[in-house]
Structure 1
Amino acid sequence: MAAVAVCSVAAAWWSFSSRSEGDARNQVTGATTSSAVQANKSSVLNPQVGTVENQAGRPGVKSRDFDASIAGIDANKNGIRDDVEHYIEKTYPNPAQRAAMMQYAKAQQNFMLTATTPERAQLAARELWRSFACARSEFGRPWLDATKDVHAMYLNTRDRLHAQARAQDNLAGQIVESYSGDKPCD
């Protein structure tokens, strides 16, 4: 079975938007002052997204890493940003579910960082689809809900959101085979 490679940045759009729709429309049409536009260095995806300040501790914000790099801080070099890893360890006491979420987090980070060409996007997407199959096998029907917080954590800065969008652009129009094996989990 083949699945068309489609990823959504809609969650990032609304999660980063803190202004009203009218404010966003004014900025898109150029009705804001040039200093505000310059300060925002307007984004193709969401013109009102400017510099994302450290939001740690605010209600609903699970991220702790607002590092300037796209990869963020990964002290143990396991391919999962440390704040995401800590969140997963704290949130999923079931070892199989925790492992599935770690696999998903690693695949998501890999996709964002390595999908720099259509060919590399195709390879990274295969691992992402396999991690989806693993999450589905461990969580059942709510697997997608389980992954949304981790995905949002990975999109917590403007540069990370742009990296994800570039990876998706590199995957656009390609067909990625769904994982069809019987052992999707690492």
Structure 2
Amino acid sequence: MKQLWKWGWPGVLVVAMISACSGDGKGSDRVAGGAPAPANFKEAFTKLENAGKLPILDRSDSLAGPDINANGVRDDIDRYIDSKPGTQAQKNSLKALSRVLNQAMTVDTKDPNALRSVANSLNTSVGCMWKAYPAGAASPLGDEIEKLTVNTRARYDAYMRFNSAMNGSVISEDKELHCD
């Protein structure tokens, strides 16, 4: 009897857990709350964007994306930054970062002077972010703007080409920051 208790009870428990998890086979295409599960990532993103849980982003094949006001920042990123709380200096620092990320994605990676110029601008924009935001806030915001700006495979690949071209480079930091 002791053996049955020792080995039988865990077996019954496992069978009960598996049965409870498998359901009745109905509604397997649904998620919690009874809503239909998205068929693919694109549909999932669209649902989250429409619900206001994600910013609506340009996912075109263009590296720079639409920029109607020609300020160097994609229009969707512009709108997103403008919707965030903060001072104008803080918003300007985020826009400067997005602008230089766009430059990094479109720079001629065979031109060392162009690479150096973009790297210096990147350094300056990050410094301005750290100057505009309290300690600890700048880094997560910078990461967020980077993720939103480099949001397609083509943009990611272009940004990685810039990073690869800069690998091993040494750049100096300006002694004085000139922020917008």
Q: Could you state the TM-score of these two structures normalised by the residue count of structure 1?
A: 0.65
Show the counterpart of 2:155: 160
Native 8 Å contact 1:88 1:98 kept in 2: yes
Show the counterpart of 1:123: 117
Q: Which has the larger radius of gyration?
A: 2
Residues 114/138 of structure 1: CA separation in 2 closer, same or farther (3 Å cut): same
Aligned with 1:133 (options 127, 130, 134): 127
Task: State the aligned residue count.
Answer: 134
Native 8 Å contact 1:53 1:66 kept in 2: no
Take 1:178 and 1:56, find their aligned partners in 2: how far apart are those partners? 41
Native 8 Å contact 1:111 1:124 kept in 2: yes
Native 8 Å contact 1:65 1:83 kept in 2: yes
Residues 66/184 of structure 1: CA separation in 2 closer, same or farther (3 Å cut): same
**Per-residue deviation, 1:144:** 0.9
Structure 1 portions without partners, runs of 5+: 1-51
Take 1:57 and 1:87, find their aligned partners in 2: how far apart are those partners? 18
The SS at the match of 1:85 is helix
Cα RMSD between the aligned structures? 2.0
Take 2:175 and 2:70, find their aligned partners in 1: how far apart are those partners? 29
Which amino acid is 1:161 matched to?
A: Y
Aligned with 1:72 (options 65, 72, 84): 65
| Higher RCO, 1 vs 2 (CA within 8 Å, ≥6 residues apart) | 1
Alpha-carbon displacement from aligned partner over 1:15-57 (angstroms, at most 9, x marks no partner): xxxxxxxxxxxxxxxxxxxxxxxxxxxxxxxxxxxxx847345
Which amino acid is 2:168 matched to?
A: G
The SS at the match of 1:178 is coil
Native 8 Å contact 2:63 2:102 kept in 1: no
Take 1:73 and 1:79, find their aligned partners in 2: how far apart are those partners? 9
Aligned with 2:100 (options 103, 107, 117): 107
**Per-residue deviation, 1:123:** 1.2
Native 8 Å contact 1:118 1:171 kept in 2: no
Take 1:104 and 1:96, find their aligned partners in 2: how far apart are those partners? 12
Structure 2 portions without partners, runs of 5+: 1-40
Greater helix content: 2
Residues 57/73 of structure 1: CA separation in 2 closer, same or farther (3 Å cut): farther
Alpha-carbon displacement from aligned partner over 1:132-157 (angstroms, at most 9, x marks no partner): 11000000322111111110011211
Native 8 Å contact 1:100 1:134 kept in 2: yes
- After TM superposition, the structure 1 stretch with the greater mean CA deviation from structure 2, 60-69 or 136-145, is 60-69
